[in-house]
């Protein structure tokens, strides 16, 4: 009887959304086990979206952030085309630099939730329809939204670093190990898309999915990683083709 009361008291003591998001970082398996019993998603989705968007707004409201965004846009254009941007293109990007503090956060608030629902829908379809699971969509959505806690940590870690570096280029992707390669190199492009925080987010999501569907965490994680690597390979290949193989 004592064990039953203690087990019931623990979730109640840490049932608010901030505690759940912190729990995903420090004790994901126990947090997801409680979340599966009482699935909630809106609060986590709202907090992750607003904090991530707010961080970008603060960064891009500075001159350092705007210069970094302009440099990033130029680099991306060159990586896709394989050549230098024209003066006209550069001037257009420069004119838009001041508006990026509204465009980027706005995109996060709108596109972020849409992508969350899409990812949850894909996981729900795969594990329910194809693998015979019986979880509800709300349970899957709760796992995906709370996995966004990693995005908050990423924002708190990466944005100050980017401000000090004066760059939007990620310092947490595997591309930092091949900086001796040109940006248009296929290997550099591919490794530049493999980010430590995305891998961490996939690991956390895998734990939640494994708890929900009673699967092995490693199997779920490597399945998600396979999809992630496959997407990175496809995008790198498309960029290489569009840039004429340069």
| Dist. CA 1–CA 230, nearest whole Å | 50
Counting every residue, how long is the chain?
A: 246
CA distances from residue 102 to 70, 90, 110, 162, 222 in whole angstroms, order as listed: 15, 20, 12, 18, 36
Helix axes of 63-81 and 217-242: crossing angle, nearest 10 degrees: 70
154 close to 129: Cβ distance less than 8 angstroms:
no
Burial 194-230 (b: 16+ CB within 10 A, else e): bbebbbbbbbbbbbbbbbbbebebeebbeebbeebee
Residue 246 has a pLDDT of 53
Q: Check residue 90 and give its pLDDT.
A: 75
For tokens 């940006």, the residue is: 183
Nearest to 161 by CA among 147, 176, 148: 176
Low-confidence residues in the chain, pLDDT < 50: 1-13
The CA distance from 74 to 161, in Å, is 20
Is there a contact between 167 and 68 (Cβ–Cβ < 8 Å)? yes
Q: What is the pLDDT of residues 202-217, one digit of tens each?
A: 999 999 999 999 999 9
State the Cα torsion 222-225-226-229 to the nearest 10°.
-150
In the chain, domain spans: 17-241
CA-to-CA separations, 16 to 22, 187, 198, 233, 245, in angstroms, rounded: 10, 44, 25, 39, 51
Q: What is the pLDDT of residue 171?
A: 84
Q: Using alpha carbons only, how large is the chain's radius of gyration in Å?
A: 20
Say what the pLDDT of residue 10 is: 43
- Angle of helix 42-60 relative to helix 63-81, nearest 10 degrees, comes to 100
């Amino acid at each position: 009887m004592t064990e039953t009361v203690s087990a019931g008291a623990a979730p109640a003591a840490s049932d608010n959304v901030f505690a759940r998001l912190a729990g995903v970082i420090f004790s994901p398996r126990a947090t997801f086990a409680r979340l599966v019993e009482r699935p909630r998603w809106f609060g986590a989705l709202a907090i992750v979206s607003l904090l991530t968007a707010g961080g970008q707004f603060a960064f891009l409201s500075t001159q350092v952030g705007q210069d970094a965004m302009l440099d990033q846009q130029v680099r991306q254009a060159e990586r896709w085309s394989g050549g230098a941007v024209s003066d006209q293109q550069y001037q257009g990007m420069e004119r838009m630099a001041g508006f990026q503090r509204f465009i980027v956060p706005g995109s996060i608030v709108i596109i972020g939730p849409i992508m969350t629902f899409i990812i949850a829908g894909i996981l729900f379809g795969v594990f329910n329809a194809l693998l015979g699971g019986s979880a509800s969509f709300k349970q899957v959505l709760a796992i995906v939204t709370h996995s966004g806690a990693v995005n908050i940590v990423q924002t708190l870690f990466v944005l100050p670093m980017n401000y000090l570096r004066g760059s939007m280029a990620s310092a947490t992707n595997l591309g930092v190990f091949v900086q001796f390669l040109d940006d248009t190199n296929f290997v550099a492009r591919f490794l530049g898309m493999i980010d430590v925080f995305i891998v961490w987010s996939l690991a956390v999501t895998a734990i939640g999915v494994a708890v929900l569907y009673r699967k092995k965490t490693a199997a779920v994680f490597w399945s998600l990683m396979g999809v992630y690597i496959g997407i990175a390979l496809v995008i790198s290949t498309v960029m290489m083709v569009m840039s004429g193989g340069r």
